[in-house]
C-alpha cells in the first residue's frame, strides 16, 4: 500500500488531502524523520515537535507567495519535506547535499538562509514593509519563532517595531516548547508559564500586537483555525502554539536534558550513537573549569542558552549560584560579565565561536575598553562541518586580532587547555581561548621552548611551521614529509597567539621561510600578525581558510580542501621554499 507521504510533495498536494488523513500523515513524517536523521545525524527533537504546526502552516498560507521564515532554521526539516525535498534527505548535511537549514539555493519556499536565532522577526518586519511599498501588501509574512529565540534582544527590537505598525500583515507563530537547546530561562519563561496555565493579557498586547492562544500545537484543526484568524486580521499578530519537543519518539521524550536536539548517526530504536563518543574538547574544558572553580571562588561561568553543549552545566551543578544561563543573548552575556568583573568576579563566558560574532561591540566597548578580567571560551572554533557557513567558527581570530589589550590562546591538546585556562584566569585583563569541534588531540609534549613558545619539532631552519592550536598535529605530519625530502624544518606552538609575543618573534627570526597554519581566515588572523613582525625579505606563507562562506561538509573534508592537512601544508611549504630559491 502506498503511504500518504508519497502523495505529498507540494503545499498544493497537502491542501488537497482530506483533513481526516492529516494525523496519519503526521505519523508518517515522524517515522521518516527518525529514519533519515538517525542515519545522517542532524536536528531531530525540534522537528519532531513541529510536525502538526508545519502541516497547518502550509495548509493555511500560500507558500512561497506568503513568506514563511523559520527562526531558528534547524526546525525546518518538515517544511522541506512538504516543499518537494523529501527525496534529498539521504544527502542531509553532507557536502553538496541537503542543507540542515533553510537555503535559498534549494527552493523558492526558503526566503532566508536562517540559522542564527532571534532574527526572523526583523526579517519579517522588513519583508512586509518592502511588499507594502511594492503594492503587494496582501501577501502575508509568517515568522515561526521558538520560545527560546525570544530570549534574544534583537527579537524584541523587532517586536517593538512591529507593534508600532498596525498595517503590516505579519503573523508571528510562537512555537512554545519550553526550550531553546536548554530550558528557556528568565522572566520571559515565567510569563509563558503563566499564559499556558491561565490565558490572559500578554506582553505582546502591551507592545501593540494582537495575541491568539495558547493553542495546542499538535491539534491540526485548532492550529488551522487560529492561523486563518491571524491571516484575516491583516495586522501584526502572535499565535501562541504549545508543542512538545521530540513528540512521538520515546528516546527523545525521555531525554529530559536535550530532547535529542541534535544527534550524530544513531540507532533509531534507541536514539544512541552508532559510534561510541570520544573525549571532546568540551569535556576537557568542563573538567578543567570545575577544577578551577574549586581553587578560585571568584570564578563564575556564563553561557547563552547552551550550558550542556558548552560544558558549563557540570560547573553549575557543582557550584550552585555560580553559573548563569542568560538565554540566547550573547550581547547581554558580555555586558553582564563586564559588570561582574567590575565587582570582583572573574567570569568565564562559554559560547560557540560563531556566536561571538553577535557580541563584538560588547567585547570591544564593555570588556576590553575597561581592561576587565573576563575570559571568553570559544567552542567549535574553525571548521565545524555539516552545519555549514553560519556555524563555522572561523571569524574569531580575525575579529579578536583588532581588540586592544585582549590576549588569545589556542591550546593544541587537553593538557595545554588546562594550562592556558589557568593562565587566562590569572590575567588581570581580557583573554580568550579557542578550540575545535573534534575529538581532543592526544598530548603533544614539547621538545623545547623559546620563552612561552613551545617547540614541537627541531630539525633545521629552512622552514619554520607556526602551528595555531589544533593545527599542531597536521604541522607535525607536514614536518615529517618535508624532512623526508631533505628540508630542515622545525615546528613551534605559540600557545598565546594574539598578540604576537616577543618570544615568537625571536623563534621565527632565523628561518628562511615562516609558514603560519591556522583554521581561521588566512588573510587577517594570526598569520597576518606574524607577517608584520618578520624581517624584510624573509619568506612568509600564511595558510588558513579563505575569506568566504564555506559550505557544509565533514570537518576533515573541508580542511583538506583548504590545504590544512599534513600533505597540503608540506606541499605549500615546499612550493614556497622553491620559489624563494629562484629569487
The C-alpha atoms of residue 507 and residue 469 are separated, in whole angstroms, by 17
Is 177 a known ligand-binding residue?
A: yes
Q: How many CA atoms lie within 13 A of 157 on its CB side?
A: 10
- Beta-strand (E) ranges in 149-296? 170-176, 210-216, 237-242, 262-263
Q: Which residue has the cell 544527534?
A: 263
CA torsion angle 324 325 330 332 (round to 10): -60
Give me the catalytic one of 52, 224, 330, 518: 330
Q: Which pLDDT score is estimated for 215?
A: 96
| 245 is known as an active-site residue | yes
Is 74 a known ligand-binding residue?
A: yes
Question: Nearest CA to 107 among 142, 127, 82?
Answer: 82
Q: Which pLDDT score is estimated for 1?
A: 42
Greatest CA separation for the chain: 80
CA–CA distances in Å: residue 305 to residues 164, 186, 457: 29, 11, 41
Question: Nearest CA to 288 among 431, 427, 433?
Answer: 433
- 50-248 and 281-434: same fold? yes
The C-alpha atoms of residue 431 and residue 279 are separated, in whole angstroms, by 25
Q: What are phi and psi of 350, to 5 degrees?
A: -105, 115
Is 148 a known ligand-binding residue?
A: yes
Give me the catalytic one of 85, 322, 358, 437: 358
Q: What are phi and psi of 81, to 5 degrees?
A: -60, -40
The C-alpha atoms of residue 389 and residue 221 are separated, in whole angstroms, by 37
The C-alpha atoms of residue 572 and residue 31 are separated, in whole angstroms, by 48
CA torsion angle 419 422 428 432 (round to 10): 70
Q: Which residues does residue 262 pair with via DSSP β-bridges, in sequence order?
A: 43
Which residues make Cβ contacts (< 8 Å) with residue 202, sequence separation at least 6?
Answer: 191, 195, 211, 238, 240
Q: Which pLDDT score is estimated for 257?
A: 56
CA–CA distances in Å: residue 98 to residues 36, 88, 94, 261: 12, 6, 7, 19
| 244 is known as an active-site residue | no
Q: Which pLDDT score is estimated for 187?
A: 83
The C-alpha atoms of residue 281 and residue 438 are separated, in whole angstroms, by 7
CA–CA distances in Å: residue 467 to residues 6, 41, 370, 496, 509: 52, 31, 31, 11, 16
The C-alpha atoms of residue 355 and residue 332 are separated, in whole angstroms, by 13
| Sign, CA torsion 372/377/382/388 | negative
Is 249 a known ligand-binding residue?
A: yes
Q: Structural domain boundaries of the chain?
A: 50-248, 281-434, 450-582
Give me the catalytic one of 36, 179, 245, 247: 245
The CATH architecture one would assign to domain 50-248 is 3-Layer(aba) Sandwich (3.40)
Please, what is the Cα angle at 134 between 133 and 136, to 5 degrees?
A: 105
CATH number belonging to the domain at 281-434, selected among 3.40.50.970, 3.40.30.10, 3.30.420.40, 3.90.1720.10: 3.40.50.970
Is 333 a known ligand-binding residue?
A: no
Please, what is the Cα angle at 189 between 186 and 191, to 5 degrees?
A: 110
Is 454 a known ligand-binding residue?
A: no
450-582 under CATH 3.40.50.920, yes or no: yes
pLDDT values of the chain reduced to their tens digit, one per residue, 583 residues: 458 999 999 999 999 999 999 999 999 999 999 999 998 888 898 899 999 999 999 999 999 999 999 998 889 999 999 999 999 999 999 999 999 999 999 999 999 986 789 999 999 999 999 999 999 988 999 999 988 889 899 999 999 999 999 999 999 999 998 765 566 777 888 888 888 887 778 999 999 999 998 999 999 999 999 999 999 999 999 999 999 888 888 787 776 555 567 777 888 878 788 777 778 999 999 999 999 999 999 999 999 999 999 999 999 999 999 999 999 999 999 999 999 999 999 999 999 999 999 999 999 999 999 999 999 999 999 999 898 999 999 999 999 999 999 999 999 999 999 999 999 999 999 999 999 999 997 899 999 999 999 999 999 999 999 999 999 999 999 999 999 999 999 999 999 999 999 999 999 988 999 999 999 999 999 999 999 988 888 999 999 999 999 999 999 999 999 999 999 999 999 999 999 988 8
Q: Which pLDDT score is estimated for 182?
A: 61
Amino acid at each position: 500500500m502506498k503511504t500518504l507521504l508519497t502523495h505529498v510533495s507540494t503545499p498544493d498536494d497537502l491542501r488537497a488531502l482530506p483533513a481526516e488523513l492529516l494525523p496519519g500523515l503526521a505519523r508518517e513524517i515522524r517515522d521518516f524523520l527518525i529514519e533519515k536523521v538517525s542515519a545522517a545525524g542532524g536536528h531531530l527533537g525540534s522537528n519532531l515537535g513541529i510536525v502538526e504546526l508545519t502541516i497547518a502552516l502550509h495548509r493555511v498560507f500560500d507558500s512561497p507567495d506568503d513568506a514563511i521564515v523559520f527562526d531558528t532554521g534547524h526546525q525546518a526539516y518538515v517544511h522541506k519535506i512538504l516543499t518537494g525535498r523529501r527525496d534529498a534527505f539521504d544527502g542531509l548535511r553532507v557536502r553538496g547535499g541537503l542543507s540542515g537549514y533553510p537555503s535559498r539555493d534549494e527552493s523558492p519556499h526558503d526566503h532566508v538562509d536562517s540559522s542564527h536565532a532571534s532574527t526572523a522577526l526583523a526579517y519579517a518586519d522588513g519583508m512586509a514593509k518592502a511588499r507594502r511599498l511594492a503594492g503587494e501588501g496582501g501577501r502575508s509574512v509568517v515568522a515561526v519563532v521558538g520560545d527560546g529565540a525570544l530570549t534574544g534582544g534583537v527579537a524584541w527590537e523587532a517586536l517593538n517595531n512591529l507593534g508600532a505598525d498596525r498595517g503590516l500583515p505579519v503573523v508571528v507563530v510562537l512555537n512554545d516548547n519550553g526550550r531553546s537547546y536548554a530550558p528557556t530561562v528568565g522572566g520571559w519563561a515565567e510569563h509563558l508559564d503563566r499564559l499556558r496555565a491561565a490565558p490572559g493579557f500578554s506582553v505582546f498586547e502591551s507592545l501593540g500586537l494582537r495575541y491568539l492562544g495558547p493553542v495546542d500545537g499538535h491539534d491540526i484543526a485548532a492550529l488551522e483555525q487560529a492561523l486563518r484568524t491571524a491571516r484575516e486580521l491583516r495586522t501584526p499578530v502572535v499565535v501562541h502554539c504549545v508543542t512538545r519537543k521530540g513528540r512521538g519518539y520515546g528516546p527523545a521524550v525521555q531525554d529530559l536534558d536535550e530532547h535529542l536536539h541534535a544527534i550524530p548517526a544513531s540507532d533509531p530504536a534507541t536514539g544512541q550513537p552508532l559510534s561510541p563518543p570520544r573525549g571532546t574538547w568540551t569535556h576537557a574544558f568542563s573538567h578543567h573549569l570545575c577544577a578551577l572553580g574549586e581553587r578560585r571562588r571568584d570564578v563564575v561561568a556564563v553561557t547563552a542558552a547552551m550550558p550542556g553543549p558548552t560544558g558549563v552545566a557540570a560547573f553549575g551543578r557543582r557550584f550552585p549560584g555560580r553559573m548563569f544561563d542568560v538565554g540566547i543573548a550573547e550581547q547581554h552575556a558580555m555586558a553582564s560579565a563586564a559588570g561582574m568583573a567590575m565587582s570582583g568576579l572573574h567570569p568565564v563566558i562559554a559560547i560557540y565561536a560563531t556566536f561571538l560574532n553577535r557580541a563584538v561591540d560588547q567585547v570591544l566597548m564593555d570588556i576590553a575598553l575597561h581592561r576587565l578580567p573576563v575570559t571568553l571560551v570559544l567552542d567549535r572554533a574553525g571548521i565545524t562541518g555539516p552545519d555549514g557557513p553560519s556555524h563555522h567558527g572561523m571569524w574569531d581570530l580575525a575579529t579578536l586580532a583588532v581588540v586592544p589589550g585582549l590576549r588569545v590562546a589556542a591550546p593544541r591538546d587537553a593538557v595545554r587547555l588546562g594550562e592556558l585556562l589557568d593562565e587566562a584566569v590569572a590575567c588581570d585583563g581580557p583573554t580568550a581561548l579557542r578550540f575545535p569541534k573534534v575529538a581532543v588531540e592526544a598530548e603533544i609534549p614539547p621538545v623545547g621552548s623559546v620563552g612561552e613558545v613551545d617547540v614541537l619539532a627541531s630539525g633545521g631552519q629552512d622552514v619554520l611551521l607556526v602551528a595555531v592550536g589544533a593545527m599542531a598535529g597536521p604541522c607535525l605530519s607536514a614536518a615529517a614529509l618535508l624532512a623526508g625530502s631533505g628540508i630542515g624544518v622545525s615546528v613551534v606552538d605559540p600557545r598565546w597567539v594574539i598578540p604576537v609575543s616577543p618570544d615568537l618573534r625571536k623563534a621565527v627570526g632565523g628561518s628562511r621561510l615562516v609558514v603560519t597554519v591556522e583554521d581561521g581566515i588566512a588573510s587577517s588572523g594570526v598569520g597576518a600578525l606574524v607577517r608584520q613582525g618578520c624581517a624584510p625579505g624573509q619568506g612568509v606563507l600564511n595558510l588558513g581558510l579563505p575569506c568566504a562562506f564555506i559550505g557544509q561538509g565533514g570537518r576533515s573534508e573541508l580542511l583538506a580542501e583548504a590545504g590544512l592537512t599534513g600533505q597540503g601544508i608540506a606541499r605549500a611549504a615546499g612550493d614556497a621554499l622553491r620559489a624563494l630559491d629562484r629569487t
